[in-house]
A and B are shown apart, each in its own frame.
Chain A
Amino acid sequence: MMPGRPPQQGSIVSSYGGGRADRQPANLGDILERVLDKGIVIAGDIRVNLLDIELLTIKLRLLIVSVETAKELGIDWWEHDPWLSGRQRELEEENRRLRTRLEALEEGEPSRRELRAPRQEPEGEQEGEPAPGRRADRRDRD
């Protein structure tokens, strides 16, 4: 069916002469993305495989489009650049809203357990953010 090319790795001399494209031997990434994610998917008798492979496939996907790639492609702009996404502003806005609410609550009723000010607000952290972990810590120490 596939004439001309021996199956071994590294011997990518094709019988097709014309192209200038850089024809590479099958690398591990190419093979993994095919043997794990493509082809006929059947549940074998070793049932647990399937789940494991789903997990593995997800891991592979994460590896294929990893944070590094995203960064390389510039799609983390939203993370760092307030101009491009307004995310920072959103946070500030949320901060302001929460602080206002906190003040209102402090004036009105003493209970402010529900409140969770964003982490970045240094003042907010002192009182307004009783994170579950920290509460637990305190209990432990007590």
Chain B
Amino acid sequence: MTETGTYLYAIAKGPGEGSAEGLTEGLTGVAGEPVRTVTHEGLVGVVGTVPLAEFGEETLRRNLEDLGWLEAAARAHHRVVDAVARRATTAPVRLVTVYRGDAQVHDLLERGGAAFAETLDMVTGRQEWGVKVYADPQAAAAPARSRPATTAAGGRSGAAYLERRRTGLRTREEAWRRAAAHAEHVDRTLSALAVARRMHRPQDPQLSGRSEWMVLNAAYLVDEERGGEFAAAAGALTAPRIEVELTGPWAPYSFTAVESGGPDAEGPW
């Protein structure tokens, strides 16, 4: 016999009438399991049954350290959230939220109902768009070449070297300032079309897979009917040596941060 837990992917608004099963039809989850629903009043918990051998405390701790495992889990989690969000108003739940059973999820929906409903209302009829702005660092002068360090000596570095270095930094700083100013312009323009905006941290090239400067990484919550307008506006903001990258529409990950139940939080659950 295998011990199992209930993995919670998202909380969605239930369909007005009839069964919520259509929401998860045909979906498979992080453990390859069929995704199903737990409902309470107007709320739907999107869940799957997962083996605790993989999602129990001990193994999970190890698995999360394994980037391969993490990537597969993150993508599977996202696939479920994404698919459900196309079918109903959805608030994603953070990766690897696991309960002992369906009863606990039901309990959660019952006790957290008001907060969840409020969150879902906020994102109803809206989509998240991701916007990143990249600036080509080649536009800046090549940075001054660093000499072998003579740090202990401090002030002994030659004046010429310092001048060179300062000029290089000024040029680079200037390029950075230009790019940052354009990013601000992009953000202002797009914020005007959005209901809300969240800033994300710029991504490391290891994550973004790109070597350019990432000068903006933001998410915008946009009314569905303005999606086309928003995408067109983002496209029009591309400038010489500055690229505007649009991702989405996403499930409203960045706008459903109900911070309840952190280690120190005193939530109802």
The interface of chain A, by Cβ under 8 A from chain B, is 1-3, 5, 7, 9, 12, 14, 16-36, 38-54, 56, 61, 63-66, 68-69, 72-74, 77, 80-84, 88-89, 91-92, 120-122
How many pairs of A and B residues are in contact by the CB < 8 Å rule? 256
B98: contacting residue among A9, A33, A49, A68, CB under 8 A: A49
Docked-complex contact B155 and A82, CB < 8 angstroms:
yes
A-B pairs with the 4 shortest C-beta distances? A19-B235, A29-B207, A18-B232, A20-B235
23 sample A-B contacts, Cβ–Cβ < 8 Å, listed by A number: A2-B224, A5-B249, A9-B75, A16-B231, A18-B228, A21-B245, A22-B243, A26-B247, A26-B250, A27-B207, A27-B209, A29-B208, A33-B203, A38-B92, A38-B256, A42-B93, A43-B269, A46-B56, A50-B261, A65-B204, A73-B213, A81-B165, A83-B165
Residues of B within 8 A of A121 (CB): 152
B262 within 8 A of A: yes
Docked-complex contact A88 and B154, CB < 8 angstroms:
yes
Interface string of B73-101 (1 = CB under 8 A from A): 01101110111011111111111111110
Q: Report Cα–Cα, A32/B76, bound state, in Å.
A: 11
A40: contacting residue among B99, B250, B257, CB under 8 A: B257
Chain B stretch 157-175: residues in CB contact (< 8 A) with chain A: 157, 162, 165-166, 169, 172-173
Docked-complex contact B256 and A31, CB < 8 angstroms:
no
Task: Given A18-B232, A35-B95, verify A41-B74 contact (CB < 8 Å).
Answer: no
Residues of A within 8 A of B265 (CB): 43
Task: Given A40-B91, A46-B56, A52-B61, verify A22-B169 contact (CB < 8 Å).
Answer: no
Residue of B whose beta carbon sits closest to that of A9: B75
Docked-complex contact A21 and B207, CB < 8 angstroms:
no
Closest chain B CB from A83 CB (angstroms): 6
Task: Given A24-B247, A29-B208, verify A41-B203 contact (CB < 8 Å).
Answer: no
Residue of B whose beta carbon sits closest to that of A120: B152
Interface size on B, residues (CB 8 A): 106
Q: Report Cα–Cα, A53/B57, bound state, in Å.
A: 12
Residues of A within 8 A of B83 (CB): 7
Docked-complex contact B98 and A64, CB < 8 angstroms:
no
Residues of B within 8 A of A21 (CB): 231, 234-235, 237-238, 244-246
Task: Given A21-B244, A26-B247, A40-B11, verify A72-B205 contact (CB < 8 Å).
Answer: yes
Closest chain B CB from A24 CB (angstroms): 6
A64: contacting residue among B93, B130, B203, B243, CB under 8 A: B203
Q: Report Cα–Cα, A8/B236, bound state, in Å.
A: 26
